[in-house]
Amino acid sequence: MSTPTRIAVAVLAVVVVGAIVRRLRIAAGMRRGDQAVIDAKLKRNKRFANKMVRLVGRAGRPHSVFAIIECTGRRTGRTYTTPIRVVEQPDEFVVPLTYGRKTSWYVNLKHNPGILHWQGHAIPVGNPTLVPSATVTRLLPPPSRFLLWLDGTDECVRIPKHPESAGAILTRNEGEADQ
């Protein structure tokens, strides 16, 4: 192996090890409930990861493991969209609460119905219910289970589908778009 190749491999190894150590430190802070670590991860994800999930992860589109939750702000009345990981069940969705009960989309959805953009469909949702992660872990795919364990996520949310309110929610959102 030539010297430049060895240097490149060594640099790559250092970067990979550094990234793993950083991720483990973040996971340790999340598991401890260290609010500074949780807030820093949330801020970083809002700035970078959420945009990548929308573009590369194809959030809300067919064949994606990500959905987009659309909620109305409880104080501002503005419409907010957030990419989330979901597992669909016949009459509900299961969503890990990675950042805890204070997650904005969850708090907003408790106060106002929303729309879940999943597999190319807009599905009315509302009335989220907190459940311990242990009760729904078997429903989650292995990568999601690993992330729940790694970050110490103790709670998930069950979000029922609300087909009877579809017309009202979609009409409200179309009316806002016309203005």
pTM of the predicted structure, to 2 decimals? 0.70
Q: What is the mean pLDDT of each run of 10 residues along the chain (179 residues)?
A: 89 90 81 80 74 73 87 90 89 88 90 92 92 89 85 89 54 42
Q: Where are the beta strands (DSSP E) in the chain?
A: 66-72, 79-85, 87-88, 92-96, 114-118, 121-125, 129-132, 155-160
Asked if residue 93 belongs to a domain, the reply is: yes
Give the amino acid at 159: I
Nearest-angstrom CA–CA distance, 177 and 174: 5
Domain that holds residue 165: 58-178
Asked if residue 151 belongs to a domain, the reply is: yes
pLDDT at 163: 56
R_g (Cα) of the chain, nearest Å = 19
Q: Report helix, strand or coil for 142.
A: helix
Q: Domain count of the chain?
A: 1
Asked if residue 81 belongs to a domain, the reply is: yes
Asked if residue 114 belongs to a domain, the reply is: yes
Asked if residue 45 belongs to a domain, the reply is: no
Asked if residue 4 belongs to a domain, the reply is: no
Residue matched to tokens 């949702």:
125
Asked if residue 129 belongs to a domain, the reply is: yes
Q: Which of 128, 127, 121 is nearest to 170 (CA)?
A: 121
Q: What is the CATH number of the domain that holds 101?
A: 2.30.110.10
Q: Residue 130 corresponds to which tokens in the numbers above?
A: 């907190």
Asked if residue 44 belongs to a domain, the reply is: no
